[in-house]
Structure 1
């Protein structure tokens, strides 16, 4: 069953709480969640061009909105670019758009996908789960937000490596169990939308 926008957002929020914050994979996430300054936007389009237009609109909105209202933005797109290689190719067009809008060094995009695979890894390598989200999504970050957390480039560069070490310690079996629990909770909510789940 295709998720509604509300269900896709709810599942993404649960993933952020359980995996991203719960496993301390991102030093920026906890504060924006607590401050409620993350914007979640969903498009159910199946067309990459329509998604590209949504990306452009999201970049404009983020740059025109004060940080105290929207610090960061996540665009969830469950029905388009479900193939990771196509998604990866699309990222190049997004980076070009950021540059064309004069936002290089202002906004950067972080990539998350259910089938995310780092170069040089096997598809089943546990390291890939640092970027494996419930749905394909694009996360737009303000560069200033990142430097405020740490102005040490070496610290920032080492985040992916530290995350991969964390997941190796946790193991693939435990990661799959976490993701399965998130999916099952979301599926239960979809089948019983009026059930008032926790």
Structure 2
């Protein structure tokens, strides 16, 4: 499927893209406590929402390099983490995984490995060994492909402050199994205070 082009009114589209991503963050990630560390940076307004209007993997990687440099140079109290949202490229999950490979290489080339890391979210996210429709995949399903840039120091502090951080993955999968497909759809359809 060919990538779509950015719409003529890019600012309006970016606002819609960011609004959908904020809804997903507040309903799924924070609302279901899929990431117990997300609420603090959300409440403190320390999340940067960046929209890549690139239509191919090369453009996404150019935007990623810019955002990695921005985050590395920003004060953690102002910007602790960045969500690079990709509405016009990487719709295919395999292509997205290819992009992650190059993204990790970029981290090394920029000498940011150990300082920053990249987490992955995608509308068609599928864990290895799972079926496409398995509800557990929804722990990492987002409205658009997202490259989540995180500071290693922030992760270490959050893990130190959270008992049993290693069990988050299993708890998330159990939460989604209890919710089920219909429950997920109903949960995500509800509005939040930030919508």
1:4 aligned counterpart, secondary structure: helix
2:114 to 88, 94, 105: 105
Unaligned runs of 5+ in 2: none
Cross-structure match for 1:83: 92
Name the TM-score, length of structure 1 as normaliser: 0.87
Return the alpha-carbon distance in structure 2 between the equivalents of residues 144 and 126 of structure 1.
Answer: 31
Cross-structure match for 1:161: 170
Question: Over the residues paired in the alignment, what is the CA RMSD in angstroms?
Answer: 2.1
1:54 Cα deviation after fit: 0.3
User: Aligned residues, how many?
Assistant: 184
Runs of 4+ aligned residues of structure 1 deviating over 6 Å after TM superposition are none
1:151 Cα deviation after fit: 2.8
Cross-structure match for 1:175: 184
1:135 Cα deviation after fit: 0.6
1:171 Cα deviation after fit: 1.2
1:29 Cα deviation after fit: 0.5
Establish whether residue 40 from structure 1 lines up as the match of residue 49 from structure 2.
yes
Unaligned runs of 5+ in 1: 186-196
Name the TM-score, length of structure 2 as normaliser: 0.88
Return the alpha-carbon distance in structure 1 between the equivalents of residues 173 and 113 of structure 2.
Answer: 27
1:152 Cα deviation after fit: 8.1
Per-residue deviation, residues 18-38 of structure 1 (Å, max 9, x unmatched): 110000000110000100000
1:156 Cα deviation after fit: 3.4
Cross-structure match for 1:120: 129
Q: How does 1:53-72 map to 2 (within 5 A)?
A: 53-72=62-81
Return the alpha-carbon distance in structure 2 between the equivalents of residues 163 and 85 of structure 1.
Answer: 24
